[in-house]
Each structure stands twice: as structure tokens, then as C-alpha cells.
Chain A
Amino acid sequence: MIVVPCPNCGPRNSGDLRNCGELVPRPDPSAASLIEWREYLYMRKNPADWVTETWYCRGGCRRYFTIERNTATNEIRGQEAS
């Protein structure tokens, strides 16, 4: 149960939130080719390193926000050590 810093509610147990995975920019749906669209849908960087990801403060203020987390250590940028 890691601690995730909600910008509104403060540090919270991760069980109070939902992880929405790595942030992937959405291509313009009216202009994107299918190849581009499916890269957006399926391809992930999945690094063992710092990743920018989205969380949803499900049990609190219901805000979506992004943080940087190191997937090799679970360290969160600006937070305490893992």
C-alpha cells in the first residue's frame, strides 16, 4: 500500500485511489491514422524507470491527476523514499 499524493486530499493510501496507467497523449481522432490510433490504444513504454502516470482519487475528491513514479522502486517524485 504505497502513499500517493493527491494534490487536493494530501498523501493517501493507494487503495483509496485508482491507478490509470501511464499517460499516453490522445491523437486527434478525426486526423489520426489507424496505425497511430492503435499505438495510442495498445503500445506502452513500460519503462523500469520514472513514468508519468494518472491516478484517480476514487475514495476522496475524485480528481484525476498525474504524478511521476519510478516503477523500479515505487518511489514517487517529491515524496518520501519507498
Chain B
Amino acid sequence: MVERQETPPPVQLGILSQILDLCRANSLWPMTFGLACCAIEMMAAGASRFDLDRFGAGVFRPSPRQSDVMIVAGTISKKMAPTIITLYHQMPAPKWVVAMGNCAISGGPFAYEGQYAIVNGADRFLPVDVYVPGCPPRPEALIQGLLELEDQLTKGAKRNYLRRFQRHANPDGKA
């Protein structure tokens, strides 16, 4: 299990750190990698029809050194999982993980007794921030997941002053 790095910065910047959080939330840079069919929906979310760039999250980086969001899109095999951990360690902090699709959440259709090749969920070894259910999730679901992550970063939708869509069910953004 890879632990979340919770070390607070040595110097607290007060209101400035909140401004930085707002900037981070609206310029999430995901890493370009996919593990299975969910990656197709992730690509659709990044392409012109759904256009993740509207939310600042469309800058898919080809290197983990340049990205701060890992979208685990697809089935994690036991062969691939050590590589994913390496990629996670290569990302600079602060960094976040989105588990996209049922396979990355809990193993999905591969969670059965006697199964020998698949890791049942990204949260078995990574600190996951947002879960996006679906098999595969629609691009809108991934967009909602990323908006949810933005709200986590700004500690509430109300303080995410740049948010493109207002929340309806829970306008205060309190969990």
C-alpha cells in the first residue's frame, strides 16, 4: 500500500495557499495512460465533443513528471500493478488518483473466487481520491468525477469560484 503524503508545508501561506489550491483545481494535468476499455471513454472525454479543456483538465501529459492526476482507467493486472506504483512515485506532489470504472474500483467483473491475474481495485495499493463508477463510465461521468476532485481541492464547491457548473443537489459542497 502506497501511503498518501500528508506532510504539511513548513511555511503556511494563509489566503495564498487557498489561491494556489484554486489554481491547482482548475488546471489538473492528467497523465496519458490507459489500461483497458475505460481509456477509450477517457480519450472521448478529452476529445472535442466532451472537451475536458473546458475544466482545465484536458492537458494530458505524456510524462508522470509533468502530471498531477493519475486516472486509473481500466483493469489492473497483477503484472501491471508494480508499474503503476512506479508511475505514481514518479509524479511530483501534490498528486491525486481517480479510479475510473468498476475494474479500477473493485475488480468489476473480475472479482470472483479463484481469480488469479487481476488486482481487485486501485485502492488496494494507491490512495484513491475519487471513484467514477460505470462499465465503462460515460465521458460525462469522468467529467463529474474531475469536478468532484476540483471541489475536494478547494475544500467545497462554493469556494471553487471558477467552477463551470453549479451543483444542484448539494449546493454547499458539503459531504
Partners in one complex: no
B residues apposed to A, CB below 8 Å:
none
